[in-house]
Amino acid sequence: MAPAELAAAAFGVAYILLAIRGHRACWIAGGISTAIYAAVFYRAGLPMQAALQLVYVALSAYGWYAWRPEPAAAPARRWPIRHHLVALGAVGLASAASAPIVARYALATAPVADSIGTWASLLATWLLARRVIDNWLWWIAIDAGLAALFATQGLAMTAALYLAYSLLAVAGWRSWRRGIAPA
């Protein structure tokens, strides 16, 4: 395990624990983790995941802004099933479009899994930033799938982290459902 992977994982754990508690600092820890992971994933032959990490840095800035402290901060809310179905279709279409491109031009080692994980993760991060409770359900599935992908790429620490993320997402789902909305 490389020191960069370990540092990225440590900041990643801080991110998820702070997000579950609705603490705005989660976006700082997440931004640091993803900046480091961009290089880790690029070296592992996962170009879509590497690019996603760079987008996450920008989404971390957005999340920091969206969760700014103010009396009228939006409470956590649910998404209707039709929104999830449309989102699932969009993830599928985006993945179908990007997988052949990264397979051909970016020398991806797992283009389909890399693409699905990337597009679904973008959606789930946006849902988290918008305080949609259902983001946690997306993360349970995404993180479990990414754990398997990272294990196949020899990223054992990252695979373990993403498996832990999946379990922590269950805690996030329960916590947010009980009405502990981000402050």
User: pLDDT for 85-120, tens place per residue?
Assistant: 999 999 999 999 999 998 888 777 889 998 999 999
Is the pTM higher than 0.95? The answer reads no
Q: Are 141 and 127 in contact (CB under 8 A)?
A: no
Please spell the DSSP secondary structure of 18-49, one letter per residue: HHHTT-TTHHHHHHHHHHHHHHHHHHTT-HHH
**Adjacent-strand bridge partners of 77:** 132
Mean of the pLDDT values across residues 151-171?
A: 90
46: closest CA among 167, 163, 159?
Answer: 159
Between 62 and 93, the more confident residue is: 93
Q: What is the mean pLDDT of the chain?
A: 88
How far is 147 from 18, CA to CA, in rounded Å? Answer: 21
Between 75 and 164, the more confident residue is: 164
pLDDT tens sequence across 33-44: 999 999 998 988
How far is residue 137's CA from residue 12's CA, in Å, rounded to a whole number? 18
CA dihedral 25, 30, 36, 38 (to 10 degrees): -150
Tell me if 24 sits within 8 A of 69, measured CB to CB: yes
Q: 3-state SS of the chain: helix, strand, coil percent to 5?
A: 75, 0, 20
